[in-house]
Structure 1
Amino acid sequence: MKGSFIFSLFFLFLILGAANSQVADSCNSPLSLQSPLPFDTTTLQCVPVWSSQSFILRYQQASPNVWNFVLSAPNTNAYIGIGFSPNGKMVGSSAIVGWVESDTTSVMKRYFLGAQSPDQVMVNQGNLQVGNSSMILQSNQIYMAFQLIVNTPEQRLIYSVGQKGRLPSSPNFVLSQHRDQISTLMNYATGQFQNENPDAGLKRSHGILNMLGWGILMPIGAMVARYMRQWDPIWFYSHSSIQSCGFILGVAGVICGLVLEDRLQANVNKHKGLGIFILALGCLQVIAFLARPDKESKVRKYWNWYHYSVGRILIFLAAVNVFYGIHLGNAGAGWNAGFAVVLVTLFIVGVILELRVWMRK
Structure 2
Amino acid sequence: MAVSNSSSNKLLLSLFCFISIIIGFQLKASAQSDGDSSGTCNSNLRNVLPSPYSDLSSLACSPIWERKFSFSFFEDGKNVMTFVLSGKHDHKWIGIGFSRDGHMEGSSAVVAWVESNGVSGIRQYYLGGKNMSKVIPDKGDLRFTSVSPVVVVRGDLIYIAFQLQFATSVADQHILLAIGSENPLQNGLLPKHINKTTTLIELSSGQKVAPNVQRRYHGLTAIIGWGIITPSGLMIARYFRHIKPIWYYLHSSVQFVGFFVGIISISIGRNLYEKTDFPNPTHRFVGYTAFFLAGLEVCQFIGRPSMDSKRRPYWNFAHHWVGRTAMVTAVLNICVGFNGNRTDNQDLKIGFAMALVTLLTVMIVLETRLRRENAIPKTIVDQPPVFRVVDEH
Indicate if the aligned counterparts of 1:158 and 1:181 stay in contact, CA closer than 8 A.
Answer: no
Determine whether 1:273 maps to 2:298: no
SS across alignment from 1:204 = helix
Q: Is the 8 A contact 1:203 1:260 kept in 2?
A: yes
**2:225 paired residue among 213, 222, 234:** 213
Aligned match of 2:366:
353
C-alpha spacing 1:354/1:110, structure 2 compared with 1 (3 Å): same
Contact 2:233–2:251 (CA under 8 A) maintained in structure 1: yes
Task: Name 1:342's counterpart in structure 2.
Answer: 355
What is the CA–CA distance in structure 1 between the aligned matches of 2:285 and 2:260, rounded to whole Å? 19
Find the counterpart in structure 2 of residue 16 from structure 1.
none
Once the 2 structures are TM-superposed, how far is the Cα of residue 289 of structure 1 from its aligned partner?
0.7
Map residues 328-339 of structure 1 onto 2, 5 A cutoff.
328=341, 330-339=343-352
Answer with 303-312 or 285-294: which moved more.
303-312
Aligned match of 1:305: 317
SS at match of 2:75: strand
Alignment of 1:246-265 (within 5 A): 246-265=258-277
Distance 1:351 1:279, change over 3 A: same
CA displacement at 1:150 relative to structure 2? 10
Based on CA coordinates, which of the two structures has the bigger radius of gyration? Answer: 2
Query: Which residues in structure 2 correspond to 1:14-163 (within 5 Å)?
Result: 85-87=60-62, 93-96=73-76, 108=78, 155=160
Using the alignment, how far apart are the partners of 2:211 and 2:366 within structure 1? Answer: 41
> What percent identity do the matched residue pairs reach?
27
Matched AA of 2:75: A
Aligned-residue Cα RMSD (Å) equals 4.4
**CA shift digits 1:212-239 (9 cap, x unpaired):** 1111011000000001111111110010
Structure 1: 5+ residue runs without aligned partners?
1-63, 68-82, 98-107, 113-141, 162-166, 169-174
In 1, the alpha carbon distance for the partners of 2:244 and 2:265 equals 32
Aligned equivalent of 1:283:
295
In the TM superposition, residue 111 of structure 1 has moved relative to its aligned partner by 9.6
Q: For the structure 1 residues 151 and 339, does the alpha-carbon distance in structure 2 shift closer, same or farther, using more than 3 Å as the test?
A: closer
Distance 1:96 1:289 in 2: 57
Secondary structure of residue in 2 paired with 1:211: helix
Q: Does 1:182 align with 2:167?
A: no
Instruction: Determine the C-alpha separation between the residues in 2 that align with 1:357 and 1:267.
Output: 44
Structure-2 separation of matches of 1:92 and 1:66: 14
| Partner secondary structure for residue 221 of structure 2 | helix
Over 3 Å counting, the alpha-carbon distance change for 1:331 and 1:307 in structure 2 is farther
Cα distance in 2 for residues equivalent to 1:234 and 1:223: 14
Question: How far apart are the structure 1 equivalents of 2:307 and 2:231?
Answer: 24
Which residue identity lines up with residue 312 of structure 1 in the other structure? R
CA contact (8 A) 1:86 1:156 kept: no
Which whole-Å CA distance do the structure 2 matches of 1:208 and 1:265 have between them? 20
Whether the 8 Å contact between 1:217 and 1:245 is mirrored in structure 2 is yes
Larger deviation, residues 264-273 vs 312-321 = 264-273
State the shift of 1:262 in Å: 2.9
Instruction: State the 1:283 CA deviation.
Output: 0.6
Q: How many residues align?
A: 232
> Which of 230, 233, 249 is 2:242 aligned to?
230
- CA deviation map 1:154-213 (0-9, x unaligned): 847899x9xxxxx99xxxxxx9xx455437699xxx999976759454333222211111
The residue that corresponds to 1:204 in the other structure is 216
Within 2, Cα distance between the matches of 1:271 and 1:343? Answer: 19
CA contact (8 A) 1:84 1:156 kept: no
User: Judging changes above 3 Å, is the alpha-carbon distance between structure 1 residues 301 and 85 closer, same or farther for their aligned structure 2 residues?
Assistant: same
Structure-1-length-normalised TM-score = 0.52
Q: CA deviation at 1:272?
A: 2.4
How big is each residue's C-alpha offset from its partner over 1:91-139, in whole Å with a ceiling of 9 and x where there is no partner? 9842256xxxxxxxxxx45799xxxxxxxxxxxxxxxxxxxxxxxxxxx
Q: By how many angstroms is 1:359 displaced?
A: 1.1
The gaps in structure 2 that reach 5 residues or longer are: 1-49, 65-69, 83-140, 153-158, 200-209, 375-393
Amino acid at match of 1:213: G
Q: TM-score, normalised by structure 2?
A: 0.48
Aligned to 1:52: none
Aligned partners of 2:51, 2:173: CA distance in 1, in Å? 32
- Residue aligning to 2:378: none
Q: Which residue of 1 aligns with 2:108?
A: none
CA contact (8 A) 1:95 1:110 kept: yes
**Alpha-carbon distance, 1:261 to partner:** 2.6
Aligned-pair CA distance for 1:329: 5.2
Q: Does 1:293 align with 2:305?
A: yes
Other structure's SS at 2:175 match: strand
